[in-house]
Structure 1
Amino acid sequence: MPDDASVTSSLAAKIEWLIQNRWPAGSRLPKNNVEAAAAISEATGEDLSSTTIWKLRTGRSDNPQLKTLKGLSTFFGVPIGYFGDDDEAEETADRVAASSLVGESGLNREALRALVELSDGGRQLVADFIISAARLEQGREKAGEA
């Protein structure tokens, strides 16, 4: 998952993050914008073109119609505030990230409760470990691209 700054930095980054991280379970990721637009349109009834999806994903459009945002919000199961550029967007991105983890990666409610019950020092240790592990994986991914 990208760091918080990249998730909330632009509408294009937010939409790309949703496609990569919140695509409906059991469905394969779209290979292109045509597939993405078709899946979103079919699921929501909102007619989105592949050109609209392309413009949004590439940042060529950063002021979509409200009906487009409502369709994306419905499809990805996020509040429409996620697409804003204020504090609500960052908070929503955090909630979206947390809800994506629960049940999908072995991080269950029991683990979350245990985390809450840790001391401040224990929670900080866990947070430091998670950040270190993410940086390690990002470094491996970049090394594989070279």
Structure 2
Amino acid sequence: MQNRTGAVRAGSAEEVSPGATLAEKVEWLIRNLWPADADAPRNNVETAAAIARATGEDISSTTVWKLRTGRQENPQLKTLTALATFFGVPIGYFGFPGEAGPIDDDLTLKALRREVEHGTIRPEVLRALVDLSPEARWVVDEMILGAAAADRQRHPRRGDDRET
């Protein structure tokens, strides 16, 4: 399945665990919460330009590349603030103590709602899921997790080959 940026994703709204690296969190935002009013980026140059236009904070394509590939684990607060502003997430998403779990859950639900709004996930599917018995829901859960794992094996993420 592809999202609005054309990126292949494992599921409708991949989860980012609280222990995820900064690179994984930035990549998740780009793939799942790219603002609807901004053109989808094809590379890090366009990503940096969109963030700069929306926030007024000058972020270079090299900084975006370093963040996405894990080569910059300790960016300046102004960079994190610009990212948080652009993607509409709390600054705590980037790993400030005590805030990761609930924030990650909220952002996963936000991404899921966007997928429903864009027609990638049909609302009737979600309604049917809620109406299932606990046993049937467990079967569906296992099928989704299995499909996501298989998709990740077929389409591994490679952060080191993106354009700068």
Aligned to 2:30: 19
- My pick for the range that moved more, 122-131 or 85-94, is 85-94
Residue by residue, what CA displacement relative to the aligned partner does 1:55-81 show, whole Å, maximum 9, x if unpaired?
222222222222211110111121211
Residue by residue, what CA displacement relative to the aligned partner does 1:37-64 show, whole Å, maximum 9, x if unpaired?
1110101112212232222222222222
Larger helix percent = 1
Which of 16, 34, 37 lines up with 2:48 in the alignment?
Answer: 37
Which of 132, 139, 145 lines up with 1:118 in the alignment?
Answer: 132
Alignment RMSD, CA only? 2.7
Q: Secondary structure at the match of 2:155?
A: helix
Aligned to 1:10: 21
**Is 1:106 the equivalent of 2:121?**
yes
Q: TM-score scaled to structure 2, two decimals?
A: 0.69
- My pick for the range that moved more, 126-135 or 111-120, is 111-120
Task: Provide the rounded CA distance (Å) in 2 between the counterparts of 1:86 and 1:112.
Answer: 32
Residue identity in the other structure for 1:57: R
Deviation at 1:17, TM superposition (A): 1.7
Aligned to 2:148: 134
Residue identity in the other structure for 1:106: I
**Is 1:62 the equivalent of 2:103?**
no
Q: Percent identity?
A: 51
Alpha carbons 1:73, 1:80 under 8 Å: kept:
yes
Alpha carbons 2:18, 2:100 under 8 Å: kept:
no
Q: Secondary structure at the match of 2:106?
A: helix
Task: Provide the rounded CA distance (Å) in 1 between the counterparts of 2:70 and 2:104.
Answer: 19
Deviation at 1:94, TM superposition (A): 2.9
Structure 1 unmatched ranges of 5 or more: none
Alpha carbons 1:20, 1:29 under 8 Å: kept:
no
Q: Whose RCO is larger (CA < 8 A, sep 6+)?
A: 2
Structure 2 unmatched ranges of 5 or more: 1-8, 157-164
Aligned to 2:95: 84
